[in-house]
Amino acid sequence: MPPALATERLRRKISLHLALAAPLLIAMLACSACFYTTYPKGPEPESPIPNWDTGKFQFQKLTAALAERDRALYSMQTPAIMEYTAGGQHLKAREDIVVRRPDSLRVEARSPLGVALLVAAQGDSLAIFEPGKNRFSRGHATAATLYRYVRIPMAPADAVALLMGLAPRDFPPDSVPDSVSNEGAMTVATYGNSTSGTRQLGFADKQLAMVRETAPDGRVSYEVRYRDYHDIGGVMFPYVVDADFPVAESHVNLRYLRPIVNGDVPASTFVLTPAPGATLMNLSRKEGALLPDES
């Protein structure tokens, strides 16, 4: 057979095989794609923290910085201007305030004539001296008694946290907020719900700007605003504390004049002794009423 004829037959045979193989190859590829797309996917890896979003992640950084600041603060002493409003009553006074964590505070209210009232609380003990009446009272430090004499309806430890611009004392810094939102220039995180009540922390310029607690019935228990922060020895500290207490229908504004933080404050600062000839009184548990001291 001539070589040219053999070559031509071989070429035709190869072309025929390719023509038959092409549809088979296409079918195989189609089945492969079908098999691949219908094969059940394995479980996708979970995110490190379920339901965590960018806002919550950023807020965790703020609360971590707040916790670090809280650990750095243990005392504060300052002269201050206090303004108190309740109903039709308005009171403005100069005070000297000393607080030491966790639950010690001393407040001296001054008048043009000198000290008008001296209040000291340490733990659950409270002492009050009224120089004008030469009257010395003692009793339990409760929200009711502190409200009567210091205008802050909180137990001593909570009052100390408020005065020092700290997070609530039972607030875990690693808590994950239920939601994060904005109120003007302030970033606000909400913890809790309408059933349990809510606690909200607000930050502005990376500093604590607001603490708000709401009862399950929707009423605000208290709201405190902090502003005018200054660097005192490497610690940022607010010079203005503005507190609303809707339940007591009162408002307290404190402007610190020359605060000193982390100074040495001895325990004796919060212990008062009666002046000679002072009238001794006991504070009853009921609304801080005064009763004669029979001891």
DSSP for 89-141, please give it.
Answer: EEEEEEEEEEEETTTEEEEEEEETTEEEEEEEEETTEEEEEETTTTEEEEEE-
Is there a cis peptide before residue 216, judged by omega within 30 degrees of 0?
Answer: no
**SS3 call for 260:** strand
Domain borders along the chain are 54-292
Give per-residue pLDDT as tens, 42-77: 444 433 444 445 656 677 788 888 889 999 999 999
Amino acid at site 202: G
Look-up of token digits 């020895």: 233
Return the H-helix or E-strand segment holding 285. none
- 54-292, which class in CATH? mainly beta
Give per-residue pLDDT as tens, 232-242: 989 999 999 99
Residue 286 has pLDDT above 80, yes or no: no
Q: For position 263, what pLDDT does the model report?
A: 94
**SS3 call for 168:** coil
Give per-residue pLDDT as tens, 144-183: 999 989 999 999 999 999 999 998 877 777 778 888 888 8
Q: Which of 75, 63, 30 is nearest to 200 (CA)?
A: 63
Give per-residue pLDDT as tens, 235-272: 999 999 999 999 889 999 999 999 999 999 999 999 99
